[in-house]
Amino acid sequence: MSKTIKIGVVGAGSISESHLRSYKENSQAELYAICDLNEERARAKAEKYGIPHIYTDYNEMLKDAAIDAVSICTWNNTHAPISIAALNAGKNVLCEKPLCKTVEEALAVEEAVRKSGKTLQVGFVRRYASNTRIVKQFIDNGDFGEIYYAKASCIRRVGNPGGWFSDIERSGGGPLIDVGVHVIDLCWYLMGRPKVKSVSGNTYRKLGNRSNVKNFAFYRAADYDANHNDVEDMANAVIRFENGASLVVDASFTLHAKKEELTVKLFGEKGGIEVEPELSIITEKYDTILNVTPQINNLSFDFVKGFQDEIDHFVGVCLGERETLSPVEDGVEMMKILCGIYESAEKGEEIRF
């Protein structure tokens, strides 16, 4: 029989469902323990997924030597302490994005990875999606030449998830750190992870969370509460890289926009790519511009399959079969970018690294 790894999941809220379902579907993983501050919530997931061990304190859970790996699906302010405790206990870690709240925390997690010899995979789920992998293959083979410009938007018209998401102490910020991180990371990864030179950002708090809006469904924290909101409504930024490339991004929880928007576009010397909203390749041949549509099952990000691919990859990492595609170092670099944008917005000036 092939080896299986025992998994402990910390956090039994909304996104844990995607982790649990994916581990359940992986024949080399065994859901062994679940932990949440809210015991009822942990118990409900344990019953649904047949998980034998339930905890409310992650330190207790980490004492169980049988656990090989841990998925962290909690508030952003707990990512660093839980990651460090899990690594110190000799577990591999899959930590949801963002890696943490600050650069200092990120460096402490990186240090714990180094000392433990274990792997921490940052939950940059979009790196694992089939669309991204297809595009990466083209880029790595030089089909687009040098990628010198990227542009990404993640615009929600009304979509502040409330609860801890809108409490800056627990989240570290609003749409930039929550959803902007996905598209910034995707562009940066596909651009070949160039070194960041400077960032210039703006954040706005003009609209509040607009919890008054009716008949409009949106993602909510497990403990939804609209009463507290001290994060930005929207953010935008220009990120400049040492190789001369640049990335322009905006992200919102709420904005008076006509439509929701998710766009990820990269532009190179020999061609362009739209990753979102639909995979498309733009090029030129015999003096004619071509817009090419790859013939694949899903032209945009498939949430269920994306998580399955991410978890399958992580299980392979734990079994020593492969390296992670989203190592802790990239989580650290992303925290530098995100925190740099917040600092730039606060000071009203460009931040140079």
Give the shortest CB-83-to-ligand NAD separation in angstroms.
11
Verify binding: residue 61, ligand NAD, rule CB under 6 A.
no
Strands (E), the chain: 5-10, 29-35, 53-55, 69-72, 92-96, 120-123, 147-155, 196-204, 234-241, 246-252, 261-268, 272-276, 280-285, 288-292, 351-352
**Per-residue x/- marks for ligand NAD, 64-103, CB under 6 A?**
---------xxxx-x-----------------xx------
Residue among 259, 232, 237, 83 at smallest CA distance from 150: 237
Is 8 a binding residue for ligand NAD by CB under 6 A? The answer is no
- 235 part of the interface to ligand NAD, by CB under 6 A: no
Question: Is residue 164 a contact point for ligand NAD (CB under 6 A)?
Answer: yes
Part in contact with ligand NAD (CB under 6 A); list of ranges 6-14, 23-31, 150-158, 241-249: 6-14
| By CB under 6 A, residue 10 contacts ligand NAD | yes
Going by their DSSP bridges, the two strands 272-276 and 261-268 should be labelled as: antiparallel
CB 157 within 8 A of CB 255: yes
- Closer CB to ligand NAD, residue 11 or residue 180? 11
Give the binding range for ligand NAD (CB under 6 A) out of 29-37, 189-197, 284-292, 293-301.
Answer: 29-37
Peptide bond into 327 cis (omega under 30): no
Tokens, residue 207: 């609209």
Q: Which window, 146-154, 217-225, 317-325, 338-346, contacts ligand NAD (CB under 6 A)? A: 217-225
Q: What is the CA radius of gyration of the chain?
A: 20
Does 32 contact ligand NAD by CB under 6 A?
Answer: no
Q: How many C-beta atoms surround the C-beta of residue 230 within 10 A?
A: 12
Residue for token digits 């240090």? 111
Residue type, 298: N
163 binds ligand NAD (CB under 6 A): yes
Positions touching ligand NAD (CB under 6 A) are: 10-16, 35-38, 41, 58, 73-76, 78, 96-97, 123, 125, 163-164, 178, 221-223
